Amino acid sequence: MTWQPIDTAPHDGTEILASDYDAIEIVATSWRGVQHGTQWFTRAGEPFWPTHWQPLPDHPPLPEVP
């Protein structure tokens, strides 16, 4: 996975890994009303202004059951 410009990120509520150069957060888009458009929010509900993104990695495989 490589970092991509934020303007290419999905805007359908999908969670992504995002960076603003200072921090890396897991974020998703949410509507804030027509007047304000969309805004990125961290999982904690804090606004975030990322510049780059990449998809979240897959979960690790489940251990085998003996």
DSSP letter for each residue of 2-49: --EEGGGS--SS--EEEE-SS-EEEEEEEE--TTT-EEEEETTS-EE-
Of 36, 28, 31, 30, whose CA–CA distance to 53 is shortest? 28
The dihedral built from the CA positions of residue 13, 28, 4 and 7, taken in this order, carries a sign that is positive
Give the pLDDT confidence score for residue 30 in this predicted structure: 63
Give the pLDDT confidence score for residue 47 in this predicted structure: 83
Spatial contact of 49 and 3, defined as CB atoms under 8 Å apart = no
Render pLDDT for 7-62 as a digit per residue (tens, 0 to 9): 998 888 888 999 999 988 888 876 554 456 678 888 888 888 899 999 989 889 99
Give the pLDDT confidence score for residue 31 in this predicted structure: 52
What's the whole-model pTM score? Answer: 0.76
